[in-house]
Amino acid sequence: MKKLAMIITRGGFNNLLQACEWITLAAASGIEVSGFFRDEAAGRMSKTKIKELTLSLDYRGREAAVRDLFRQENKADLSKLLQKAKESGNVKLSSCKDSLRYFDLRPEDLIPELDEVQTAEAFWKEDVLSADQVLTF
């Protein structure tokens, strides 16, 4: 496999963490990775929301313990994890232009690790059609 496209839609911290880890693993393996954040995941790409450690309901009653584990394992800072992913290989990260409107966000509100804001159609044409594999999170 030479090229991987990832579409990340769910905005829970644990989902975003998994997406970051898979992006890093693929890039470190020499695979070109394009990640597209849309829907709730795009809303979490703001400079303020990215810092929230919101967990899914499956972690109910264990939230504090899991957050502590993330901190101990240096997994609590998604911006740093995305930066690490980009440093590990050929990674392009973008956010969905339409999704930003849903959260009243502007491109300048987003974390600097994102390379661009684009439409789903543009991501489809530029990244999905040429990908060997597409993963969704």
Which of 126, 109, 8 lies closest to 118 in space, CA to CA?
Answer: 126
pLDDT at position 56 is 86
Task: Give all domains of the chain, ordered by start, each with its CATH number.
Answer: 3-136 (3.40.1260.10)
In order along the chain (137 residues), what is the average pLDDT of each group of 10 residues? Answer: 97 95 98 98 97 91 95 96 97 98 97 98 98 98
Q: pTM higher than 0.85, yes or no?
A: yes
pLDDT at position 73 is 96
Backbone Cα Rg of the chain: 14
